[in-house]
Each structure stands twice: as C-alpha cells, then as structure tokens.
Amino acid sequence: MVTVRALIATAVHHNWEIEQLDVNNAFLHGDLNEEVYMHIPQGYTKSVPPNSSYADTSLLTYNKGTTFLALVIYVDDLLLTGNNPKLISDVKQQLDTTFSIKDLGSIHYYLGIEFLRNLQGITISQRKYALELLHLAGILVEKPSNIPLDPTINLTDNIGEPLPDATQYRTLVGKLIYCTITRPDLSFAAQILSQFSQSPKTSHLQALYKVLRYIKLSPGQGLHFLQHTSLSLQAYCDSDWIKCSISRRYVTGYCIYLSSCLISWQSKKQTMVSRSSTEAEYRALADCTCEITWLQSLLHDLHVPTTTYVPIFL
C-alpha cells in the first residue's frame, strides 16, 4: 500500500486522472503446479518492495520522451495513471483485448478503500469497512472512546481469564490491522493487540473493544493527499525502550511524508532486546533510513525528483 499511496500523491501533484480496472476471470479453476513468470514489455520497468511478502503486487511504468504511464497490479485489481490520456485509453483497450477487463472509470473504491477527489486533492478512507467491522463486533450502540488504548494499563499475558474461543478475537484483530492502511493512529494499538492472538485473555478483548469504540468516534477518518507545487521527503522516527513488559523488547516507529502527504508508517516490536535507549534510537533510525532508501528508488521509477538528503526528525 505504500506504493499505492506514493502513486496517488504523485498523480495528485501532476493533476493526473487515476483509472481503475478489474480483470475478469482472474482466478484459476484448478491447481497450478508450474512456475509463473511475468513478462514485462520493452519500455516498461518493474518495481517491487524489497523483502515484500506480497508477491502478487507490482508496479509497471512506461516512459518515452515526455510520455509517462504507471500501472499498479494487485491480483485482479489495477490502477492506471499518467500524463497521456490517449495512451491510457489505448492501454485499456489492449488489456481488454488480451485479458478481458472491466473499465471502472476514475478511482472510487479500491481494495476496500474509498476515494473522494476534489479540486484540492484526494481523500482516502475505509468508512464502509470500519462500519462493517463495528457491526461484526456488535458495538455499534456502544459509547465511543476518545483514545484507542488506556495509557495507564499495561497489557500482559497473565492478566485476565483465557477466552473460551479465540476465533472472534483473531478475526477482529486481523480486520483491525487492515484498517491501518488509512489509519496510522491505529498502528500501535494493532501491533500491541496482535501479539496476544495465540492465547488471548479477557483483558485483551476489553482493550480491543476500546480500540473499536475509538474507531466508532470517527469511522470515516482517513488521509488527505493535497496538491503541491513540489514533492519532497521528510521523516519522523522514535523508539520506546523496554516498552514490552513481557519480553523487554523495544518498539520502534516512523512516519514518512511526501510533502504533506503521509505515505509510509510503521509501529513494530523488534526481535531483540536493546542494551540502552541510545541503541534503540539508532535502530529506529536504521529502519527509517532503509524505508527512505527504498522510497527514493520507488519515486525515481515514478519520475519524482528527490534529493540525497532527507531530514529525519526524532
């Protein structure tokens, strides 16, 4: 989704239309036992995040002279944008001839994300998905919460009674994680609650319900990609030393902006115990720097000029 958000910010900056396509009959009716390769036509380049677990996600770009096109493919959902409407129309016709596609017009609903475009830019949210999540949890009539997690409560694995059936907890946490696509304010809570999915307790379920009641406060909250005269990267990162009272591991987090457009963020408990708060801060910087390095490569493919120097604020 970082690739999608970067593409949206770029398209809004250039005032390009973003077309949405859907492939008919994308799923196989049988078992596939052979290796599958993607053929990239001459003139196109392919960009995939390093160490990505999404093998079916790819970005194809076309650049010839002053003409630029970008195509994002996720399973059977496609986004197409660029500065040449005539070529975009030709590409859609060729795709329909080869694969049989459905032209959905300007982007409006993609992978459960709602897109609303105006003269200032594009707003993305998951309002429909969030309301479905609240309905599934049965808390639509509950009082909203002003904060996702209670800062005075430290969740551990030895407080509360084991849930008789952990299926609902795991399902709700999984859907909560998907909400973080447009809600960075939920990332830390989702990271905390997901580590108890193996054997959740009643205290964990109560904390989960509080997060869902926080979503109920504003289910349509999301991100706004404004149109800017220039695009530049800047980042913020931090670490919380020995935050986890169970493993004593530290939590790192970062958020990266393209101008004022938030395109990448993370809240993650690390796999090791840091010996000092200074070491934890340096490791947070290292994680943020790796993401910036990849983003610079991605923006290069999108023909967005970037500088070697990117400020990181602690």
> Could you report the per-residue pLDDT of 35-65, keeping only the tens digit for each?
766 555 555 555 545 444 333 558 899 999 8
Higher pLDDT, 308 or 263: 263
Q: Per the domain annotation, does 222 fall within a domain?
A: no
Work out the pLDDT band at 119, boundaries 50, 70, 90: confident
Clarify whether residues 113 and 145 are in a common domain: no
Q: Per the domain annotation, does 67 fall within a domain?
A: yes
Q: Of 41, 42, 40, which Cα lies nearest the Cα of 58?
A: 40
Residue-number span of the structural domain to which 200 is assigned? 128-217
Tokens of residue 148, six digits? 């996702």
Return all residues near 88 (Cβ < 8 A) that are at least 6 apart: 17, 19, 69, 80, 81, 82
Work out the pLDDT band at 213, boundaries 50, 70, 90: very high
Most confident of 33-42, 76-85, 146-155, 277-286: 76-85
Q: Per the domain annotation, does 108 fall within a domain?
A: yes
Clarify whether residues 145 and 105 are in a common domain: no
* Average pLDDT estimate for 120-129: 94
Q: Is the pLDDT of residue 234 over 70?
A: yes
Higher pLDDT, 282 or 172: 172
Clarify whether residues 260 and 283 are in a common domain: yes
- Boundary (domain end) residue, out of 156, 189, 217: 217
Q: What is the pLDDT of residue 90?
A: 93
- Boundary (domain end) residue, out of 66, 93, 124: 124
Q: What is the pLDDT of residue 244?
A: 62
Gap between the Cα atoms of 257 and 293, Å rounded: 14
Q: Of 160, 273, 280, which Cα lies nearest the Cα of 208?
A: 160
Tell me what the pLDDT averaged over the chain comes to.
86
Number of other residues whose CB lies within 10 A of the CB of residue 223:
20
Q: Is the pLDDT of residue 262 over 50?
A: yes
Clarify whether residues 165 and 194 are in a common domain: yes
Clarify whether residues 30 and 102 are in a common domain: yes
Clarify whether residues 142 and 180 are in a common domain: yes
Q: Per the domain annotation, does 224 fall within a domain?
A: no
Count of domains forming the chain: 3
Q: Is the pLDDT of residue 154 over 80?
A: yes
Clarify whether residues 61 and 162 are in a common domain: no
Clarify whether residues 274 and 261 are in a common domain: yes
Q: Per the domain annotation, does 56 fall within a domain?
A: yes
Q: Per the domain annotation, does 107 fall within a domain?
A: yes
Q: Kind and range of the H or E element at 80?
A: strand 77-82
